[in-house]
């Protein structure tokens, strides 16, 4: 579970460039995951061995200038509520603007660490100009040039020092954690109420294990797990319910903190962009995923409806289509236990461990029959396979020329692993390593 850092500020001060610089620094170290990152406003970064999640609020503001002001205020308020630290970015070229003063006014009341960052300071003259930002009343500021990265080191040193220590969960037994996520009004609360409506199944309520999600220890069908509810969290009077940023911000913590995500989709609204954002968030965090299409009882349907709807969702989530989709109604309790049984299956798939000897006996002959295509006249020979000791399925394929194995072949290997060992609902990572 990592801390959340939000980058706030008015449009065009360089928030996205800074954000991209921070998450790419990390992505350069980790193997790039094949496939596209669909949502570029959320990423992970680390500095001095401390990991944190980064949210670029700029990507969520849409609209004309007058709408901007209201939206930005909303986002800053949300960031203040949800993030552990806030980076407030301004731009030396424009000097202090009215909108900057607005944001500063909101941030002055905050007890959390706030870092005032003056961007585009790439020479001595501009460093002198930056002095005027003292007038925002936020104390010291950091000067950076996000385009070439100068100054970011000092800022990050101070940032990770100020982040609160992340408390590790201390539980005698580590129970699987299922997070119920989705956009507002999709029926997350109704689903959870339908599940735990009978009080005798609830063992304990652990409030405040995460700062804002409620954990319910649930025991049924001989299976015990923690249900992480993001729905019933403090309703924000100030926040418009449909704000995309709100759902994502909310889901970040719950997703990072879970083993399996139950993504609740409103059948009437379909699998829209906001739901897709949350789906890719879970996928990028390598969590198990079950898609629950709720309010299915309210949809006009014929014998083909379910297949059509399912086909549409699978099209949207390519290439990761091996995800269970359950049609439910929280209101009539239709298939809600099927939803939990499916989540349990996905959890088991995610924790599956395959013996190295078995992997090699099964897969090496398949690879011999269909080896990686030659690239630039070079032939790749895969010699050995092992599963890495990570919480989710990751496999290392050792070969002579890892750099020549292209993405389509990695996907082929992933599909073979899925076919043979059943990893339904779980992202699988395939890495090529030098033998």
Residues in the annotated binding site for GTP: 9-16, 56-60, 119-122, 182-189, 229-233, 294-297
Closest of 224, 127, 238 to residue 173, by C-alpha: 224
Give start and end residues of each alpha helix (H) in 289-355: 305-316, 336-350
Task: For residue 9, give every residue at least 6 positions away whose Cβ sits within 8 Å of its Cβ, in sequence order, or none.
Answer: 15, 58, 88, 89, 90, 100, 103
Task: For residue 260, give every residue at least 6 positions away whose Cβ sits within 8 Å of its Cβ, in sequence order, or none.
Answer: 176, 177, 178, 179, 287, 288, 289, 290, 343, 346, 347, 350, 425
The answer to whether the CB of 282 falls within 8 A of the CB of 235 is no
Identify any residues that bridge with 119 across adjacent strands, giving them in sequence order: 91
CA 284 → CA 36, 144, 375, distances in Å?
10, 29, 29
Cα within 13 Å of Cα(414), Cβ side: 23
Rounded Cα–Cα distance for residues 60 and 67 (Å):
12
- Write the DSSP assignment of 16-79 as a string of letters: HHHHHHHHHHHHTTSPPPSS----TTEEEEEETTEEEEEEEGGGG--S-HHHHHHHHHHHHHHH
The dihedral built from the CA positions of residue 61, 63, 65 and 67, taken in this order, carries a sign that is: negative
The phi, psi pair for 244, rounded to 5°, reads -60, -45
The phi, psi pair for 278, rounded to 5°, reads -70, -35
Provide the annotated binding site: 9-16, 56-60, 119-122, 182-189, 229-233, 294-297
């Amino acid at each position: 579970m990592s801390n959340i850092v939000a980058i706030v500020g008015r449009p065009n001060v360089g928030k996205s460039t800074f954000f991209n610089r921070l998450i790419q620094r990390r992505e350069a170290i980790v193997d790039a995951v094949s496939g596209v990152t669909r949502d570029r406003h959320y990423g992970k970064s680390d500095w001095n061995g401390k990991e944190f999640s980064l949210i670029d609020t700029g990507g969520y503001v849409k609209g004309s200038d007058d709408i901007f002001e209201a939206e930005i205020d909303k986002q800053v308020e949300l960031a203040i509520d949800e993030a552990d630290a806030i980076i407030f970015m301004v731009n030396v070229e424009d000097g202090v603007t009215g909108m900057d003063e607005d944001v500063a006014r909101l941030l002055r009341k905050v007890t959390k660490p706030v870092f005032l960052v003056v961007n585009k300071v790439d020479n001595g003259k501009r460093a002198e100009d930056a002095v005027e930002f003292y007038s925002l009343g936020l104390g010291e500021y950091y000067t950076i040039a996000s385009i070439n990265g100068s100054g970011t080191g000092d800022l990050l040193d101070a940032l990770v020092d100020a982040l609160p220590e992340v408390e590790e969960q201390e539980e005698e037994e580590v129970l699987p954690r299922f997070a119920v996520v989705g956009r507002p009004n999709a029926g997350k609360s109704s689903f959870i109420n339908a599940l735990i409506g009978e009080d005798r199944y609830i063992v304990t309520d652990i409030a405040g294990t995460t700062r804002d999600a409620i954990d319910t220890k649930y025991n049924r069908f001989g299976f015990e797990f923690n249900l992480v509810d993001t729905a019933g969290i403090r309703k924000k009077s100030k926040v418009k319910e449909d704000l995309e940023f709100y759902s994502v911000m909310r889901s970040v913590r719950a997703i990072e903190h879970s083993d399996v995500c139950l993504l609740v989709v409103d059948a009437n609204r379909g699998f829209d962009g906001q739901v897709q954002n949350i789906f890719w968030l879970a996928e990028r965090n390598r969590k198990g995923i079950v898609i629950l299409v709720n309010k299915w009882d309210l949809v006009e349907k014929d014998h083909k409806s379910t297949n059509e709807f399912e086909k549409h969702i699978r099209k949207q989530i390519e290439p990761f289509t091996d995800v269970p989709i359950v049609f439910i109604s929280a209101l009539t309790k239709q298939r809600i236990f099927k939803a939990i049984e499916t989540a349990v299956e996905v959890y088991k798939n995610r924790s599956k461990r395959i013996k190295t000897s078995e992997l090699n006996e099964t897969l090496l002959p398949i690879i011999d029959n269909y080896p990686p295509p030659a690239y630039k006249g070079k032939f790749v020979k895969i010699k050995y396979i092992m599963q890495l000791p990570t919480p989710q399925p990751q496999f290392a394929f050792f070969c002579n020329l890892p750099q020549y194995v292209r993405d389509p072949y990695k996907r082929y290997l992933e599909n073979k692993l899925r076919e043979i060992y059943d990893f339904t609902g779980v992202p699988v990572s395939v890495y090529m390593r030098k033998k």
